[in-house]
Structure 1
């Protein structure tokens, strides 16, 4: 009887030890890394604009359409074979499409070139409406390590309902480091470059098609 009891005690102790080991491993697997959040920098300030240079135009920034990937806060990466994924703990503070739209809005407002720059959400009425589509805003790895931004914008005349201006931007900004913050910095530089280019392209359009005062 004593040997049987001893064997039962050994088996029970072994079972408890195995349970403790499983519980320890589970607690280790359950530990998650804290998330890190990133945001885009505000647009670079424009040079001072005199009152004579201001155009009597009211611009409205409409929606920028995109896939569900860029309507969420995940940072997207892809390989040269276009296989895509998202980082789990490295995220944007807001969905990329909203951040890009906000940087463009602030860039156009800060330029001082327009009488007013508003949004459709504000209910404002404008002379022209800008809208667009975001195709890519992601890390690209392979032969090239870069932050890719691909976006198309168009402007519609609210009086005629005709599309009077379009602009396509595609650029791969080289990543200077090997981690996610370096990728974010490259994407941020790309957005700054894009908004500067869009603002300049709009200036060229209105210089060629001056509004009637």
Structure 2
């Protein structure tokens, strides 16, 4: 084989390799998955909330949640060893977790019909009550630390029901829920996390109604 033929083959091989790497890079662009949309979809499949016995005249604001540092970024967390947290490399949150959690809680309180107005964190209006939330856990657990076949997702948060006139905490409680993961990928993880978040937000909404009922 001539030197010219060998050189031609090298050039072609390098060009094909560059094309392949370029295609791989574009196909591995991070997918953006929405926790808020997953929770909304999960909520649509569940039972409707029981209507409150009486509607109050209170205005409520949901504060921007504090999120534990391990879950505060755009990375989606999973655990396959008890002490080691890992993250999906090709999938990211479409919105910051604190925004998703605030949106889900705001919608749940609105749907309860128990309050005159429910304000999101960005609203600059006065409110009678404030729901403050610390998001402690937002992770998928895959086998062997999670149950077979694909593991489970857990959402855990601590909620405080605050009287805004004097900053007094009227009640505080920790909520947690798990949901099974039905497929071994980021989409399965997010769907399960959305389901767990929908359950937690429903429990929080019912709890706020109970706290107000006890205070009457």
TM-score, L = length of structure 1: 0.81
- Note the 1:4-153 alignment, pairs <5 A: 10-31=2-23, 32-33=26-27, 35-39=30-34, 40-42=38-40, 43-44=43-44, 45-49=48-52, 53-67=54-68, 70-143=71-144, 144=146, 145-153=151-159
Structure 2: stretches of 5+ with no match in the other structure: none
Give CA deviations for 1:127-157 in whole Å, capped at 9, x if unaligned.
1111122122121113311112121121221
Q: Is the 2:161–2:208 contact (alpha carbons within 8 Å) kept by the matching residues of 1?
A: no
Matched with 1:155 is 161
Q: Is the 1:156–1:164 contact (alpha carbons within 8 Å) kept by the matching residues of 2?
A: yes
- Note the 1:185-196 alignment, pairs <5 A: 185-196=191-202
How far apart are the structure 2 equivalents of 1:167 and 1:206? 14
Secondary structure, counterpart of 2:101 in structure 1: helix
The CA RMSD over aligned residues, in Å, is 2.4
Give CA deviations for 1:20-50 in whole Å, capped at 9, x if unaligned.
2133223212223265443324245534557
Q: Which has the higher contact order (CA 8 A, sep 6+)?
A: 2
TM-score, L = length of structure 2: 0.80
Secondary structure, counterpart of 2:17 in structure 1: helix
Post-superposition offset of 1:178: 2.8
**Deviating runs (4+, > 6 A) in structure 1?**
none
How far apart are the structure 1 equivalents of 2:156 and 2:39? 18
Matched, 1:173 2:173: no
Aligned length: 200
Post-superposition offset of 1:69: 5.5
Give CA deviations for 1:102-121 in whole Å, capped at 9, x if unaligned.
01101101111011111342
Is the alpha carbon distance of 1:131 and 1:28 closer, same or farther for their aligned partners in structure 2, counting shifts above 3 Å? Answer: same
